Amino acid sequence: MASAAAFFDLDKTLMEGSSAIHFGRAAYRAGLMSRRQLASDAWANIQFRLKGSTDETTKALWNRILDSIAGKRVEDLARLGPQILSGVLPRLYPEMLAVAWGHQDAGRPVYIVTAASQELSELLAHVLVFDGGIGVRSEIRDGVYTGRPDGPFTYGKGKAEAIRQVAEREGFDLAESYAYSDSESDLPMLRTVGHPVVVNPDDALRRVAREEGWEIMLFDRLRRRLRIASLAGAAGLLAAGTGFAAARMTRPTGLRARLGLA
């Protein structure tokens, strides 16, 4: 039995952006979500990638997902798996997969711990050859989702609780275990283990990591590209403004200009 394990958040830790948007796209194509819902979740995904998550935005997104699956058959959502994976898999960070598999090679089981659904976490864990997935469970009756949760919300303190339950069941020593996440909301999860690592952290988590001396890993390409584009755009506007001002300063004016003497 392994004495320690490694726990990985999914969104912006194992992958770029949010897995929820890929669920939304697949659900929209299957007629399970409206265009307005999809657009709203797409904007929320952009904000998430730039600013990180908050309690309010994460819970609101999950509530929308619960509402959208209420009354749907489990097998219908399970059939969305290939489409969801087609969006998620290309956005996985190769660097993080190498880290996770390195833990396995060292004898530490690897788990995904996410506020995404239990079904998605298990599916992705299976495809990535991880040892398990821990996500939000939705109540099922007679093969149909009721739209109500069936267990703790694996977010914030809920993730830490889920990790402790797995550690107790499997006999892991959390003091020797590792946890990886991007958001300040996952501080309970990170503080549960002896080896916390922050990945693409939001500003609040970055400050904590620096104060605590935790390792910081950076792979989020979108934020870097947008910042570069923003700086380039600002530089372009500045250059255009300077050129316009210079043109005005050198343009002939008044009587001398009309006489061609300027």
pLDDT in tens, 201-260: 989 999 999 999 999 999 765 544 444 344 344 444 444 444 434 444 344 444 333 334
Q: In Å, how far are 79, 87, 132, 162, 223 from 159, measured between CA atoms? A: 27, 24, 14, 5, 26
Q: What is the DSSP letter of 129?
A: T
> What pLDDT does residue 17 have?
84
Do residues 182 and 13 touch, judged by C-beta distance below 8 A? yes
Instruction: Name the burial class of residue 120, with classes exposed (0-12), middle (13-18) and buried (19+) by CB atoms within 10 angstroms of its CB.
Output: buried
Do residues 143 and 122 touch, judged by C-beta distance below 8 A? no
In the predicted structure, residue 15 carries a pLDDT above the cut 70? yes
For domain 6-219, give the CATH number.
3.40.50.1000
Is 9 annotated as catalytic?
yes
Residue type, 160: A
The alpha carbon torsion through 104, 79, 86, 8 (nearest 10 deg) reads -30
> What pLDDT does residue 65 have?
64
More confidently predicted of 21 and 123: 123
Identified catalytic residue from 9, 131, 202, 220: 9
> What pLDDT does residue 4 have?
97
Q: What is the DSSP letter of 262?
A: -
Identified catalytic residue from 11, 131, 182, 202: 11
pLDDT in tens, 61-112: 667 667 777 888 889 888 888 999 999 999 999 999 999 999 999 999 999 9
pLDDT in tens, 150-200: 877 788 888 999 999 999 999 999 999 999 999 898 999 999 999 999 999
Is 182 annotated as catalytic?
no
Q: Which pTM was predicted?
A: 0.75
How long, in residues, is the chain?
262
How far is 113 from 183, CA to CA, in rounded Å?
13
Structure tokens at 124: 């992705």
